[in-house]
Amino acid sequence: MLVGPIAYPGWDMPSELSRSLAFGRPLEKPTYLPAEEFQRQYGAALQHFETRDNIGFARPDKALCDTSRCNYVLEGRSMFADASHIAQAELFRFRSIFAEALATQR
């Protein structure tokens, strides 16, 4: 199975976000990546591997991205434990994506 890319904050979002909330300060960093930017970075690779029928291809970005943005926060919860790792409490969001890719793997 091949696992596709995800958009990630690149900064310790949960820590900085919680401190901003605790001290009543606005968060000065984005909580999402514009979907257009994600597609610019990874669109060609995604398209290439989506057309392959000899591998299972998991697209975890589908759990985080909609047509306008790739979210680092969903339903008021941080998707990340730090700058680049998915929070354990949010792994359920990816279960069906990986199950489907495993089922199609040859």
Residue-level pLDDT at 106? 58
Q: Kindly give, in sequence order, each residue whose CB lies less than 8 Å from that of residue 96, ignoring residues fewer than 6 positions away.
A: none
Least confident of 34-38, 59-63, 81-85, 101-105: 101-105
Q: Is the pLDDT of residue 32 over 70?
A: yes
pTM (2 decimals)? 0.88
Render pLDDT for 54-80 as a digit per residue (tens, 0 to 9). 889 999 999 999 999 999 999 999 999
Which pLDDT value is given to residue 104? Answer: 81
The answer to whether residue 20 scores a pLDDT higher than 80 is yes
Q: CA angle 81-83-89, nearest 5°?
A: 15
Residue 74: phi and psi, rounded to 5, are -130, 135
CA distances from 87 to 24, 72, 79 (A): 24, 11, 6
Percent of the chain exceeding pLDDT 70 equals: 98
Contact at 8 Å (CB) between 106 and 55?
A: yes
